Amino acid sequence: MVNVSKFGKKIAGASGISRLMDDLGHALSSGRDMLMLGGGNPAHIPEVQEHFRESVHRLLANGDEFERTVGNYDPPQGNKGFIEAISGLLADEFGCNVNPKNIALTNGSQSAFFILFNMFAGAFEGGDRKKILFPLAPEYIGYCDMGLDDGFVTGKPEIEHIGEHIFKYHVDFDQINITDEIGAVCVSRPTNPTGNVLTDSEIEKLSDLAGTNDIPLIIDNAYGTPFPNIIFTVAKPLWNENTVVCMSLSKLGLPGARTGIVIASEEIIDMISRVNANMNLAPGSLGAAIAANLVRSGEIIRLSREVIRPFYEKKAGEAVQQLREGLDGIDFHIHKPEGAFFLWLWLRGLPITDHELYERLKKRGVLIVPGHYFFPGLVTKWEHKHECIRINYSQDEKIVAAGLKIIADEVKRAYDGA
pTM (two decimals):
0.93
Residues of the chain with confidence (pLDDT) below 70: 1, 4-5, 7-8, 10-32, 147-148, 150, 418
Task: Provide the phi-psi class of 349: left if phi over 0, else alpha when psi is between -120 and 50, else beta.
Answer: left
Cα 81 from Cα 101, distance rounded (Å): 12
Cα 261 from Cα 222, distance rounded (Å): 9
Distant-in-sequence, close-in-space partners of 247: CB < 8 Å, separation ≥ 6: 109, 221, 222, 224, 227, 260, 261, 262, 263
User: Which pLDDT tens digit goes with each residue over 153-173?
Assistant: 998 999 999 989 999 999 999
User: Which pLDDT tens digit goes with each residue over 285-299?
Assistant: 999 999 999 999 999
Selection from 73, 69, 66 nearest residue 282 by Cα: 73
C-alpha torsion 265→283→301→134, nearest 10 = -50
Q: Which domains does the chain have, with CATH numbers?
A: 6-48+302-415 (3.90.1150.10), 73-297 (3.40.640.10)
Q: What is the pLDDT of residue 23?
A: 65
Q: What is the pLDDT of residue 92?
A: 86
User: Which pLDDT tens digit goes with each residue over 340-374?
Assistant: 999 999 999 999 999 999 999 999 999 999 999 99
